[in-house]
């Protein structure tokens, strides 16, 4: 048969073969579906989205166990990546934020850090071309049929299935299609899903590349942070934007010398100048921020700068429809601040997979079955926009940033603990039903989205930032308002420290986590405990007592020692159950 006229038949067609598509493809194939994945380019290929966060890794670990795909677990920490995937990834022990005043020297106290303590499961800097290729091969091993260098042009969405058409005239027939083609999404374009962006408040554009010979920042200036800035993702903040510095060369076992560098600029404050090459714009920026420039004295870009349009934001008014679902990066994107892109991607995958499997089981692909995915993705985009837009407003003054970003710390803490809670409950009870929480709102990794009080607090914080933006209040008044909002809430743990604005660093490690978890399991307000942290303490205590007994402890010590409950929860969460490996 002439290949141009051939139609191949599958259960699911997946458009694109980036990280999201390859994960979905691997899971669906592992669950027994016949999957084809169509990629315009070929691996290995450059991709952006390099910095992970604890909820990203927590969600992926849950997906690994839930669907029996252990390779996903290999993406969840720097050590696992270096052991199993590639020796090109870096480690992320902290989020560092260093504030700079344009055309002026840095003020020594203007920095913040959220960092992991020693011994904590650490996040990673993904060298995406290797990670994505690893996942491509994983998908192939699970039986996914992959075509690279094949450009999808359109999809014919019918009542009884989908025909996917490619530039070369090939057709693929399937019951369902998943679009993972990112910002240039085939289905968003075809179905006219993109919004005009009037609903999105964040405005930013990007220029980014990979560089050699970027110096560790702590060797450039005198700065006293609990965890070395070069051991994490560094953010240089300034009025109207921020810069990321993501080292792949910061782990003793990494053989990669590259560092990812990108500038995010509000085009209203930093308009594009088409006559200026990206490298020149970067150098000009450095001249105006002399304390950032120190880090790049010897740095050289090793690839062409990627330059986005005037706004990196895009959004869709729907992300599911007749026989299709869009993955997060195809649906919308706000800004890389806080590294939430992959988090949104994995949350969408967690909700999409059971909906697809159920649709196949019941032979019913009605759109209503995918509505909660639509709502989830809209919620995540809205939440991200609120978080990032308010952050850009706060960049005008470090005092403002130092106040506002505590809502992010709070939300991230709840998000992380909610995911760990599900993982730990599964371990404690041995009940796989807990894994189904992976597709629930509770475990989507963002601020307790079902709890009005928490959401209201963040909304009220964002409203203060809107008043600042509108020129209705000044910086000092805004900081005072945020302080009183934080003081008024009964669900902010009395440590970390979130309320204490004079404390600029937050250490997140087993010890801090023990205290947080103890608070969450015993002192947290009832409305939150019932939803997110309702542990059966007696099981924990029994396990803990058995462990202490083994170590020869006396009974009194056993009952009085509640401090290690948190550590136990964390250990349980990070172990997960044995996963059936790929055949």
Ligand X SMILES: Cc1cc2nc3c(=O)[nH]c(=O)nc-3n(C[C@H](O)[C@H](O)[C@H](O)COP(=O)(O)OP(=O)(O)OC[C@H]3O[C@@H](n4cnc5c(N)ncnc54)[C@H](O)[C@@H]3O)c2cc1C
Q: What is the contact surface with ligand X in residues (CB under 6 A)?
A: 15-21, 38-41, 47-51, 151-152, 180-182, 184, 186, 206, 208, 262, 312, 327, 329, 333, 336, 339, 341-342, 345
Residue closer to ligand X by CB (options 124, 400) is: 124
Residue closer to ligand X by CB (options 302, 577) is: 302
Residue closer to ligand X by CB (options 321, 510) is: 321
Q: Say how far apart CA 75 and CA 458 lie, in whole Å.
A: 31
The CB-of-395 to ligand X minimum distance in angstroms stands at 17
Residue closer to ligand X by CB (options 152, 380) is: 152
Question: Which element (helix H / strand E) includes 561?
Answer: none
Rg (CA), the chain: 24
Residue closer to ligand X by CB (options 19, 403) is: 19
The CB-of-389 to ligand X minimum distance in angstroms stands at 17
Q: Say how far apart CA 582 and CA 495 lie, in whole Å.
A: 43
How many CB atoms are closer than 10 A to CB 309?
Answer: 12
What own/partner pairs with CB < 8 Å and gap ≥ 24 does 332-335 have?
Answer: 332/377, 332/381, 333/183, 334/200, 334/202, 334/381, 334/384, 334/385, 334/388, 335/202, 335/204, 335/264, 335/384, 335/388
Q: Say how far apart CA 374 and CA 352 lie, in whole Å.
A: 10
The CB-of-189 to ligand X minimum distance in angstroms stands at 9
Residue closer to ligand X by CB (options 416, 498) is: 416
The CB-of-5 to ligand X minimum distance in angstroms stands at 20
For 456-490, b/e burial (b = at least 16 CB within 10 A) is ebbeebbebbeebbeeebeeeebbebbeebbeebe
The CB-of-176 to ligand X minimum distance in angstroms stands at 17
- Residues 292 and 100: beta-carbon distance below 8 Å: yes
Q: Say how far apart CA 365 and CA 309 lie, in whole Å.
A: 37
Residue closer to ligand X by CB (options 180, 247) is: 180
Beta bridge partners of 113: 96, 505
Residue closer to ligand X by CB (options 217, 532) is: 217
The CB-of-491 to ligand X minimum distance in angstroms stands at 27
- Residues 433 and 422: beta-carbon distance below 8 Å: no
Residue closer to ligand X by CB (options 21, 377) is: 21
The CB-of-60 to ligand X minimum distance in angstroms stands at 11
The CB-of-524 to ligand X minimum distance in angstroms stands at 28
The CB-of-578 to ligand X minimum distance in angstroms stands at 28
Residue closer to ligand X by CB (options 38, 261) is: 38
The CB-of-342 to ligand X minimum distance in angstroms stands at 3
Nearest to 510 by CA among 427, 424, 568: 568
Q: Say how far apart CA 556 and CA 68 lie, in whole Å.
A: 42
Q: Say how far apart CA 373 and CA 357 lie, in whole Å.
A: 14
Q: For the chain, give percent helix, strand, coil, nearest 5.
A: 45, 15, 35
Q: Say how far apart CA 327 and CA 431 lie, in whole Å.
A: 29
Helix then strand count (H, E) for the chain reads 19, 21
Helices (H), 440-535: 452-469, 475-488, 510-522, 526-532
Residue closer to ligand X by CB (options 67, 532) is: 67
Q: Say how far apart CA 164 and CA 152 lie, in whole Å.
A: 7
- Residues 50 and 342: beta-carbon distance below 8 Å: no
Residue closer to ligand X by CB (options 243, 299) is: 243
Q: Say how far apart CA 139 and CA 30 lie, in whole Å.
A: 9
The CB-of-479 to ligand X minimum distance in angstroms stands at 28
The CB-of-101 to ligand X minimum distance in angstroms stands at 25
């Amino acid at each position: 048969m002439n290949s141009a006229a051939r139609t191949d038949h599958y259960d699911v067609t997946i458009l694109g073969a980036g990280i999201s598509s390859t994960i979905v493809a691997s899971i669906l194939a592992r669950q027994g579906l016949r999957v084809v994945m169509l990629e315009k380019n070929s691996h290995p290929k450059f991709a952006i989205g390099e910095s992970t966060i604890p909820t990203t890794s927590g969600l992926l670990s849950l997906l690994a166990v839930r669907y029996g795909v252990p390779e996903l677990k290999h993406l969840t920490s720097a050590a696992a990546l270096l052991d199993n995937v590639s020796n090109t990834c870096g480690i992320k022990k902290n989020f560092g934020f260093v504030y700079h005043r344009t055309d002026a020297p840095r003020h020594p106290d203007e920095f913040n850090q959220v960092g992991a303590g020693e011994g904590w499961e650490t996040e990673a800097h993904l060298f995406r071309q290797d990670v994505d290729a690893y996942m491509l091969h994983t998908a192939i091993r699970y039986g996914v049929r992959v075509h690279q260098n094949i450009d999808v042009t359109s999809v014919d969405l019918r009542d009884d299935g989908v025909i996917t058409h490619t530039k070369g005239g090939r057709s693929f027939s399937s019951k369902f299609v998943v679009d993972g083609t990112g910002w240039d999404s085939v289905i968003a374009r075809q179905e006219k899903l993109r919004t005009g962006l009037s609903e999105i408040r964040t405005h930013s554009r990007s220029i980014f590349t990979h560089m050699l010979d970027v110096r560790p920042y702590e060797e450039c200036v005198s700065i006293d942070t609990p965890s070395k800035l070069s051991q994490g993702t560094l953010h240089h903040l300034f009025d109207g934007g921020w810069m990321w510095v993501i080292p792949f060369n910061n782990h003793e076992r990494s053989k990669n010398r590259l560092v990812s560098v990108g500038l995010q600029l509000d085009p209203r404050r930093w308009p594009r100048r088409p006559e200026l090459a990206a490298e020149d714009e970067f150098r000009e920026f450095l001249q105006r921020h002399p304390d950032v420039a120190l880090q790049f004295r010897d740095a050289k870009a090793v690839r062409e700068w990627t330059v986005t349009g005037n706004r990196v934001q895009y959004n869709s008014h729907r992300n599911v429809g007749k026989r299709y679902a869009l993955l997060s990066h195809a649906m919308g994107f706000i800004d890389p601040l806080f590294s939430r892109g992959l988090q949104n991607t994995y949350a969408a995958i967690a909700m999409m997979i059971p909906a697809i499997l159920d649709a196949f089981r019941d032979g019913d692909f009605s759109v209503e079955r995918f509505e909660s995915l639509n709502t989830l993705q809209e919620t995540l985009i809205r939440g991200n926009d609120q978080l990032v837009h308010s952050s850009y407003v706060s960049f005008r003054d470090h005092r403002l940033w130092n106040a506002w970003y505590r809502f992010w710390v709070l939300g991230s803490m709840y998000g992380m603990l909610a995911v760990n809670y599900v993982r730990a409950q599964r371990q404690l009870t041995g009940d796989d039903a807990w894994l189904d929480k992976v597709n629930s709102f509770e475990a989507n990794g963002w601020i307790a989205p079902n709890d009005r009080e928490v959401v209201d607090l963040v909304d009220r914080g964002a409203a203060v930032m809107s008043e600042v933006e509108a020129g209705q209040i000044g910086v000092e008044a805004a900081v005072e308002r945020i302080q009183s909002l934080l003081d008024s809430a009964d669900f902010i743990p009395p440590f970390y420290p979130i309320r204490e604005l004079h404390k600029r660093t937050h250490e997140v490690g087993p010890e801090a986590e023990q205290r947080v978890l103890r608070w969450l399991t015993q002192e947290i307000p009832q409305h939150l405990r019932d939803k997110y942290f309702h542990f059966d303490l007696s099981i924990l205590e029994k396990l803990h007592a058995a462990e202490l007994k083994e170590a020869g402890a006396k009974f009194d010590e056993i009952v009085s020692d509640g401090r290690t409950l948190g550590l136990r929860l964390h250990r349980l969460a990070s172990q997960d159950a044995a996963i059936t490996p790929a055949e």
